[in-house]
């Protein structure tokens, strides 16, 4: 492959999905950058990212058929990236994948040249955001924080701390990506074109 695979991950509460959405808006006009659409065992009506919704049985069948380039389980759901979603790598383009920390080691074995991106925040910030969601008990939130603390990003990982505004984190990620060999955009131009700061996700 001559392109670059960007693998973005992060703990709950870090705002990874929000940073990815911001980045996608900034780079919408760049035809050499693509966003892998995931296949998830989650109903389309559940909201969130634009994904291919399938039942667990269909997901298992697709995985058995070798349809997925990547596939993992998390939070009771199956996540997959079809091989066709990575086809642009062969053309020298960049492809972003919304990934999982637990699956990173496997992804690196399959794609040794991929670029890991870790969107994170301080334990205090993660605690504040997770408790504000009111989706889990305090013990469950603490368990998530303890698990997040065990993750050690491998060498070469671009680590982005989303502590202040979403636009700030997005701009810093753009700047970091712009330093990579074969960059598909100008980080200076992209950052200067940013919109007004938005509340952090």
191 domain residue, yes or no: no
pLDDT (tens digit, 9 = 90+) per residue, 184-194?
A: 765 433 433 33
196 domain residue, yes or no: no
189 domain residue, yes or no: no
CATH of the domain at 52: 3.40.50.300
In order, the DSSP letters of 122-149 are: -HHHHHHHHHHHT-S-HHHHHHHHHHHH
55 domain residue, yes or no: yes
188 domain residue, yes or no: no
Domain housing 121: 4-180
Partners of 96 in the β-ladder: 6, 35
| Each residue's pLDDT expressed in tens, for the chain with a length of 201 residues | 579 999 999 998 999 999 999 999 999 888 899 999 999 998 887 767 889 999 999 999 999 999 999 999 988 899 999 999 999 999 999 999 999 999 999 999 999 999 999 999 999 999 999 998 888 888 888 888 888 888 999 999 999 999 989 999 999 999 999 989 878 765 433 433 333 333 333
Number of domains in the chain: 1
């Amino acid at each position: 492959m001559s392109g670059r695979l960007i693998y973005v991950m992060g703990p709950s509460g870090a705002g990874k999905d929000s940073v990815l959405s911001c980045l996608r808006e900034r780079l919408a006009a760049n035809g050499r950058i693509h966003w892998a659409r995931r296949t998830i065992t989650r109903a389309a009506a559940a909201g969130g990212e634009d994904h291919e919704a399938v039942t667990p049985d269909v997901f298992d069948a697709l995985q058995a058929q070798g349809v997925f380039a990547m596939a993992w389980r998390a939070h009771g759901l199956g996540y997959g990236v079809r091989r066709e979603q990575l086809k642009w790598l062969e053309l020298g383009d960049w492809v972003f994948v919304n990934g999982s920390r637990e699956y990173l080691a496997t992804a690196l074995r399959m794609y040794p040249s991929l670029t890991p991106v870790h969107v994170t925040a301080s334990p205090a910030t993660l605690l504040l955001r997770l408790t504000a969601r009111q989706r889990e008990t305090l013990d469950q939130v603490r368990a998530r924080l303890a698990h997040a603390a065990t993750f050690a990003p491998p060498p070469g990982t671009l680590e982005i701390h989303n502590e202040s505004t979403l636009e700030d984190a997005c701009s810093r990620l753009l700047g970091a990506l712009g330093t990579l060999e074969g960059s598909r955009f100008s980080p200076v131009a992209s950052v200067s074109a940013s919109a007004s700061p938005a509340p952090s996700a």
